[in-house]
Amino acid sequence: MTFEIEINNKPVKVKRGETILEVLNRIGIKVPTLCSMKEFVPTGMCRLCVVELEGRDMLIPSCSFKVEEWMKIKTHSPRVILARKTIIELLLANHPDDCLYCERNGTCELQQHAEDMHVRERRITGQKSATLVDKSSIALIHEPSKCILCGRCIRVCTEQMGVSALSFIHRGVATSVRPALEQPINSSNCIFCGQCLRVCPTAALSDRVNFSEMQVYFHDPHKKMAVTYSPVVAVAIAEHFGFKTAKNINAVLHTILRKIGFEIVFDTSLATDIMLVEMCGDFINRLRNNGPFPMFTSSCPAWVKYMEQTHGSYLKNLSTAKSFSQISGVVAKYVIARQKSLLPDDIYLVSILPCTAAKFEASRPQMTLMGISDVDTVITIRELIRMIKMYGIDIERIVAEVDEDISSSASMAGKLVNITGGTTETFLKALNHFLTGKPFAANFSVPRMINKDVREFQVQVGEHTLGVAVINGLSNVSAFMSQLPGRNDLHFVEVMACPNGCLGGGGFPLSWSKDSDKRCIKNIIEWAENDTIKWVHHNSMLKDVYETYFNSSMPSNFHERLHTYFVKRNVLI
């Protein structure tokens, strides 16, 4: 049902059920907000979006008030502007004055609102917080003194991820956002997914930047700098810098990374094929030994940490195959190194991913064997963008160099596994080949789990009828796990912690929008469909890699290099 209301003395058609803020956004009137997030029920707690409503003495929050027929609204009256400016001044009163050195300088929403409100002097003086910066986590930094209590991180962590690592503590002026019992992030049940980083309007939560620690190795004559990256990174860089989709974004990214100083550049596609082969081997062993089932995927490090913290009795159900990021380290140090007559320790490997939890994964003791870590440093897409700017690379003028590398002989699985459901589809097709030697039905595919929650289905693989589940987003895991005891109809479960998989990861640019998401998903699928090698079992290079490199000549058993184990974690929840 539609009706008219009056906004700034002009009639506007609205739909019943819309909030005032939704109407204002639709008709092109910008109103500042700090607590509001799309797809979340509005709370109106920041009060920055207040408007003046005829017949009301108090200003009202436009984000949580729904339109009604009688409304006459003023969005930028002197009273409204003064209220908004005062709110910003109150927030700045006890906020640190270190903008020039802040991680969010230039991208801080509070800074932008102060600019928009023309705040040019400190009229209100408050007490600065003396809270210490929490640098205990390998993935993120928590700086409570910069928190403006908008509650976004709490809502994302609780409602979207189902983790609840953060909450409001204390009352009044002492209120702050902390983990349980004010413990450090590293002692909490945080899974390092990074979703809080993407919604924090200031630098209260920010990246643990790792590119500084690796820069010294660019000038170390005893190290060869190598870099591996997820195909999602190439698509995200293209989107961020506005590349034409027709441009060879993979070649462009190769060129960028070489200009930064990396000598060995390859993507994670071959490692993904190896991961899927090892997952198939793990699954076939379970078939022969009657379980344990279902086998859960273990390629998402945030999901793995969540499992270790909350469902320790099911750790044996996780596939022992390492993630494609970690296997890329094995490829670099035991395949590429031998091809170039190098020792594994001669290579310093950097992994670029859309995932902040991968920083934690790479630091796990299990990922270092005989003193050699699979991956030496993990950086996110955000960090790569900073490096591109730091090294003065002109994206507009860059000329892509043709650069054949080991990842050119890989299947499209390297792209598809980044979308929820992609791992399941590529795994099942590979498994069918290993069990039957025959191709799957040509029309078999797993629907992309974009904005879907859970999907279950059965599929016939040889003589086995397999129950399969795909879970999109960690918030759907708890209900799924609660009904798992007693079920014997499930054999394979894919879980991606972030909504829509790696394409919703915590390492994407902060300016990322829903439209960017859609274009990125479209581009990665189109790129995958254009690959000449469609499925893992079509990759003839895999046989050569296993026969030539993953054999008895390896310094340690190749199975130990490609597989890992998991530990139950006791954390404060």
294: preceding bond cis by omega (within 30 degrees): yes
Portion of the chain with pLDDT greater than 90, in percent: 67
Between the ranges 156-165, 401-410, 551-560, where is the mean pLDDT highest? 156-165
Mean pLDDT of 437-454: 68
Mean pLDDT of 240-268: 85
Q: Are residues 221 and 198 in the same domain?
A: no
- Residue 515 CB contacts under 8 Å (≥ 6 apart), including other chains: none
Last residue of a domain, one of 189, 208, 227: 208
Residue of 512, 518, 265, 228 whose CA lies nearest to 400: 265
| Count of domains forming the chain | 3
Q: Are residues 370 and 400 in the same domain?
A: yes
Tell me, what amino acid is at 404?
E
Residue of 293, 275, 385 whose CA lies nearest to 330: 275
pLDDT averaged over every residue in the chain: 90
**pLDDT given for residue 369 in this prediction:** 87
Last residue of a domain, one of 193, 208, 223: 208
Which domain CATH number covers 21?
A: 3.10.20.740
Strands (E), 128-166: 140-142
**pLDDT given for residue 126 in this prediction:** 83
- Residue 353 CB contacts under 8 Å (≥ 6 apart), including other chains: 229, 230, 232, 233, 325, 378, 379, 380, 381, 502, 505, 507
Label residue 370 left, alpha or beta by phi (over 0 means left) and psi (-120 to 50 means alpha): left
What's the pLDDT band for 127 if we cut at 50, 70, 90?
A: confident
What's the pLDDT band for 451 if we cut at 50, 70, 90?
A: low
The domain containing residue 22 runs over which residues?
2-76
- Joined together, the tokens standing for residue 118 give 């023309």
**pLDDT given for residue 182 in this prediction:** 87
Q: Are residues 421 and 533 in the same domain?
A: yes
Mean pLDDT of 109-138: 90
Q: Are residues 466 and 480 in the same domain?
A: yes
- Check pLDDT > 80 for residue 557: no
Find out whether 206 and 141 touch, Cβ atoms under 8 Å: yes
- Rounded Cα gap, residues 558 and 185, in angstroms: 35
**pLDDT given for residue 439 in this prediction:** 76
Mean pLDDT of 94-100: 91
Q: Are residues 106 and 233 in the same domain?
A: no
Q: Are residues 390 and 412 in the same domain?
A: yes
- Joined together, the tokens standing for residue 524 give 């990665």
Q: Are residues 50 and 149 in the same domain?
A: no
- Check pLDDT > 90 for residue 440: no
- Joined together, the tokens standing for residue 62 give 């436009």
Name the pairing type of β-strands 167-169 and 60-61: unpaired
- Check pLDDT > 50 for residue 117: yes
Mean pLDDT of 247-274: 90
What's the pLDDT band for 174 if we cut at 50, 70, 90?
A: confident
Q: Are residues 291 and 426 in the same domain?
A: yes
**pLDDT given for residue 556 in this prediction:** 58
**pLDDT given for residue 246 in this prediction:** 46
- Check pLDDT > 70 for residue 165: yes
Q: Are residues 275 and 419 in the same domain?
A: yes
Helix axes 231-241, 249-260, angle to 10 degrees: 90
Buried-state track 71-80, b at ≥16 Cβ within 10 A, e below 16: bebbbeeeeb
What's the pLDDT band for 548 if we cut at 50, 70, 90?
A: confident
| Residue 196 lies inside a defined structural domain of this protein | yes
**pLDDT given for residue 546 in this prediction:** 86
| Residue 465 lies inside a defined structural domain of this protein | yes
pLDDT tens profile 494-543: 999 999 899 999 999 987 877 787 888 888 888 877 777 778 888 888 88
| Residue 441 lies inside a defined structural domain of this protein | yes
Mean pLDDT of 213-217: 87
Does the pTM surpass 0.85? The reply is yes
* Whole-Å CA distances, 474 to 172, 364, 445, 453, 479: 32, 21, 23, 9, 10
- Check pLDDT > 70 for residue 554: no
Of the ranges 274-283, 479-488, 539-548, which one carries the lowest mean pLDDT score?
539-548
- Rounded Cα gap, residues 504 and 524, in angstroms: 13
Q: Classify residue 426 by its DSSP letter.
A: H
- Residue 573 CB contacts under 8 Å (≥ 6 apart), including other chains: 164, 180, 189, 309, 310
